Structure 1
């Protein structure tokens, strides 16, 4: 994916961004009364920068190895470049991010569309291209033109930029109508399509790419309107020093290719947890697994797990590749984070023996830290989910399961609750906030499938008849404002 610099800015703004900060003064005269570096100096003097953001997968969330997200990564690197610490306020929607930046914050980084007409705000140079995409429920006739949208229940997020695109299109296609909300996030829109509460939605392409695995009944349709640009927002009236420092930082990332690498690592593919077919899995079980079988057997003897279960975890984590490295820095055959490796006394994550041993002991630790009330396979499946998403988010899902009248000790109920950690209505009530809760559900499902195949191969020694066999299947107050058609 390429990162456009200034292609989608109006000409005067594009020229200003290219020519530098001297022209910024003429474009933003509201800052002429403040010393140029006053805001930057205030940040340096207090030794921290205050950033307002949103708890979403494209911005910031608590991941398996701590805070993560595309814009979090950028924020942290920017703070490091200034030599200050980073403080985050993430309990926001888009509107409240912009309000907070105007009133008190240093900057807003929340998948904000660059809009030079907004009063009281200055915007950085473009960071990422935002391509509006129409997505729809799979059981509908595939829409291919704007005319196909007439009569459909369409949703979008207000203030995100997609609403602006729809309004621009409505001026030429007055029949367009949609619902918009600033109280939910992209995952909530997709969930409403999946459940039949909406027919379609307009989101940005990279947002759908991050979420599509969790909503298999939602299909991508077609791009619409003109691409927008993601940018950071700064308060006007406090000088241009911090804005200029951010632009220098972002320009540097672009010039040396680090920004492209970061974009590719977060948005370059649909999802690294895709389910691999039986034929591919068995082929790799025959080619790769024998090298590590004895290591899995040794780890199983030490921890009490079935060695085939540990092997299935290893395949889900790395496809049995001892030098695997994720975009977030998790490494090795069992994909251990650096803190987890330290806890397990693994000093070389790329050593398959250490990785398998450390991963097996870490899985056992997750299992031992669960409440005694969780037993049998429920306990095993929750331990695997915690290995993937962390105990904190698992406990949050158990609480949601209980709030919904389910049993927090049963995997079946917790499995239903985990994806709700992606929805604002639910994760706002939890201790650890947003999580890509669909991932551990898929993670556990895949490991169970891989284990079933390995168990079959180990017992029968009749490998190839299974190649084309079907795999075991797992059981499977309105917040919107209506934008009516133009009269």
Structure 2
């Protein structure tokens, strides 16, 4: 366990105190015995005995104070004793998102869940409205690790510790496709940020600094024509461009890195985080998670325009049915809509080369199994598709928790449950975790048609996030309220 790497602070200081007392008692006894036996030889030493005694007592007092108030460099034991790794971050597509009523998904959630598992404790995530709130919470000792979304050279991070980078990224200058740029271009950035310094240094225009800005805030300002440009990392813009189809990249700026922020002076926790991230980098875990939660080429310029058009013209025709059937199976209607979009792009007349048809693209056998007569009828198709997905969910063992349960059910929906079962068996055989999608997906590649299923799961996840973004552009969860999410 990583937690065993650090000796608990109170235990350390207590042992030092006991050792010092024993040495002092032994020393005093020896001095008294020798003075009585050889009074002349030890006369000088006896004269200094009172001074040595006062020094010893002062040292004991200092050790006692340290025992009551351990150094902040050894606060990892506080985390271990608490049994919870407390994380605060800004919710979003590059960090963590709500998944169902109480679940969480996302790159940072997956990484931090693994770190908490290795420390043998639960993970507690608190959402914050912006990066400044994350920084304040860390400085106040209200959280152990912070997900700020700020690049490492941001001046606001100066008094915090940083982990090794978990992502290499680039800053991009973003513009509106149709707006004319004024002679004195205005560039929106977060106040006191590295982006503000970059823009000033490269002289792209006048800087408009917005306090407590989030990526959604900056993109909204640009989209509304309030400014001419904004600056974001490539990962943040890629994750949001499906909701801002008229925005595009003007130019690439400088390279940047993203890291976890750690409360001040907690160097032990910093070392543990660094070792974990180093291992995740070496064994490929970080690369696989980053790839799974990336946007890929799904929302290129054409994909963005098509998706927005379909949201406006096609989704309203079937949204009521998605909600009705999702409520029946206690699932998020946007997940059901995302499955349908991956299947047919919400086209009731869609037909695949293999003969599956309808908005949920059901085979004849599946339609019959689900008890519907006309798979081209959107209402019947959505009813059968949602029931079939629920059947896959029910087959996944109870030991598989969210969001892994969803990803495995989606793979089963696409290629059949027996293939997912086989992949789980292979995963266990090779010593990996059959309850984690990241491990199961690696072994799924050994099976026929696995490539199609893996792409399917990732695409549904991307559409699901995009639909969630449409209704939560300015706050992903109830971000103005403190709401703890506990992942055991």
- After TM superposition, the score normalised by the length of structure 2 is 0.54
- Are residues 1:230 and 2:264 paired? no
| Structure 2 residue aligned with 1:153 | 186
**Gapped regions of structure 1 (runs ≥ 5):** 1-20, 22-32, 142-147, 338-345, 352-387, 391-414, 434-487
DSSP 3-state at the match of 2:139:
helix
| Structure 1 residue aligned with 2:352 | 285
Pick aligned residue for 2:288 from 252, 256, 261: 261
| Structure 2 residue aligned with 1:215 | 244
Q: 1:160 to 1:127 in 2, by over 3 A?
A: farther
Map Cα deviations across residues 290-316 of structure 1 (whole Å, 9 max, x no partner). 7812312442539x9965456579999
> What CA distance in whole angstroms lies between the structure 1 residues aligned with 2:165 and 2:214?
22
Map Cα deviations across residues 275-298 of structure 1 (whole Å, 9 max, x no partner). 589999888623251781231244
- Are residues 1:164 and 2:235 paired? no
| Structure 1 residue aligned with 2:82 | 46
Q: 1:134 to 1:67 in 2, by over 3 A?
A: same
| Structure 1 residue aligned with 2:110 | 73
Contact 1:132-1:203 within 8 A present in 2 as well: yes
Q: 1:241 to 1:313 in 2, by over 3 A?
A: farther
The structural deviation recorded for 1:35 is 5.3
> What CA distance in whole angstroms lies between the structure 2 residues aligned with 1:103 and 1:432?
18
The structural deviation recorded for 1:232 is 1.2
Pick aligned residue for 1:246 from 249, 261, 273: 273
Q: 1:186 to 1:36 in 2, by over 3 A?
A: closer
Which structure dedicates a bigger proportion of its chain to helix? 2
> What CA distance in whole angstroms lies between the structure 2 residues aligned with 1:420 and 1:80?
33
Contact 2:97-2:105 within 8 A present in 1 as well: yes
DSSP 3-state at the match of 2:248:
strand
The Cα RMSD (Å) is 4.8
> What CA distance in whole angstroms lies between the structure 1 residues aligned with 2:210 and 2:154?
22
Pick aligned residue for 1:137 from 164, 172, 176: 176
| Structure 2 residue aligned with 1:199 | 228
What is the correspondence of 1:34-433 to structure 2 with a 5 Å cutoff?
Answer: 38-64=74-100, 66-104=103-141, 105-115=143-153, 118-140=157-179, 150-158=183-191, 161-169=194-202, 173=203, 176-224=205-253, 226-238=254-266, 240-271=267-298, 275=307, 285-289=352-356, 292-299=363-370, 301=372, 307-309=377-379, 311=381, 330-331=406-407, 419-424=470-475, 428=479
Q: 1:279 to 1:56 in 2, by over 3 A?
A: closer
Contact 1:76-1:86 within 8 A present in 2 as well: yes
Contact 1:133-1:203 within 8 A present in 2 as well: yes
> What CA distance in whole angstroms lies between the structure 2 residues aligned with 1:423 and 1:231?
23
| Structure 2 residue aligned with 1:442 | none
Name which one, 1 or 2, has greater alpha-carbon Rg: 2
- After TM superposition, the score normalised by the length of structure 1 is 0.54
